[in-house]
């Protein structure tokens, strides 16, 4: 948090134990927090990559460089003024191009999960993960089952409807119940569920008009609203990535 608050200059809008929101209410915000089911060292550092935009890239580039920020950090800035160029605006014929790209990103991640799940031995399937404290099989089944639920969130927010009241505590309880009910899940049934739900979720994302990707809604009570695009990248895709990292760290391949 100190980097974003003290160097980038984002004000703290909300702070609670394990969670902080930085930014101004009239602009996109940055939310940093812990995940209730993941603990310890991150097995996949890539999921923490952050892209920042600025209205004056030259001034911010100089400010960050003068502050001694490594090139890898300040080079991630991209000028939002470039998006004001009429030539960069989405043309009518390109409607759905971003949704198609997001669908492909998810499909690639789902295919990666399929390969990992399929390569797990019976011994691997029973190993206990250090992150979720579930067996590898239960984590895989959790991933497979979650595509449908997250897809439902995408459908609700993209259609302009409000999500029902749902808290982090309710999510934890739901996940714990799932882990108990599917403790004996098999690899075959998990793979079948994963493929079915992933295909349905990809189809749903692919069918979105790019104009709805900016629609926002509250997913979890007390948390900042998220756009449809953020839900796809930050939940649908990242959820697979996160738990795959845990499985790989547990089985060692």
Q: Name 52's bridge partners.
A: 77
Q: Is the pLDDT of residue 52 over 90?
A: no
- CA separation for the pair 222, 220 (Å, rounded): 6
Residue scoring higher pLDDT (20 or 228): 228
pLDDT band at 128 (very low <50, low <70, confident <90, very high): very high
**The pLDDT value given to residue 231:** 95
Domain ranges of the chain: 2-86, 95-251
Mean pLDDT for 3-11 is 78
Give yes or no for a contact between 182 and 138, defined as CB atoms under 8 angstroms apart: yes
Segment 30-43, tens digit of pLDDT: 777 766 555 666 55
What b-and-e string marks burial along 107-122, b requiring 16 or more CB atoms within 10 Å of the CB? bebbeebeebbeebee
Torsion over CA of 49, 55, 58 and 62, rounded to 10 degrees? -60
Segment 13-29, tens digit of pLDDT: 777 666 777 776 556 66
User: What are the distances in angstroms from CA 137 to CA 181, 192, 231?
Assistant: 12, 13, 25
Mean pLDDT for 91-113 is 83
Q: 95-251: what CATH class? A: mainly alpha
Q: Is the pLDDT of residue 198 over 90?
A: yes
- CA separation for the pair 234, 78 (Å, rounded): 20
């Amino acid at each position: 948090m100190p980097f974003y608050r003290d160097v980038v200059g984002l004000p703290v809008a909300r702070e609670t134990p394990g969670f902080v929101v930085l930014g101004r209410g009239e602009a996109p915000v940055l939310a940093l927090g812990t995940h209730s089911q993941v603990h310890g060292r991150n097995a996949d550092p890539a999921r923490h990559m952050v892209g920042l935009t600025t209205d004056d890239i030259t001034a911010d580039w100089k400010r960050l460089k003068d502050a001694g920020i490594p090139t890898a950090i300040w080079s991630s800035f991209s000028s939002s003024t470039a998006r004001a160029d009429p030539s960069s605006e989405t043309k009518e014929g390109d409607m759905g191009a971003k949704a198609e790209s997001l669908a492909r990103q998810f499909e690639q991640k789902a295919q990666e999960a399929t390969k990992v799940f399929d390569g797990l031995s019976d011994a691997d399937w029973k190993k206990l993960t250090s992150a979720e404290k579930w067996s590898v099989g239960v984590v895989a089944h959790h991933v497979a089952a979650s595509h449908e639920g997250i897809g439902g969130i995408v459908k609700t927010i993209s259609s302009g409807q409000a999500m029902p009241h749902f808290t982090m505590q309710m999510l934890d309880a739901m996940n714990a119940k799932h882990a108990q009910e599917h403790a004996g899940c098999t690899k075959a049934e998990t793979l079948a569920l994963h493929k079915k739900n992933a295909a349905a979720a990809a189809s749903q994302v692919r069918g979105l008009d790019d104009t709805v990707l900016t629609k926002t809604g509250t997913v979890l009570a007390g948390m900042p609203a998220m756009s449809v695009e953020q839900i796809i990248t930050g939940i649908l895709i990242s959820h697979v990535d996160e738990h795959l990292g845990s499985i790989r760290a547990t089985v060692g391949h």
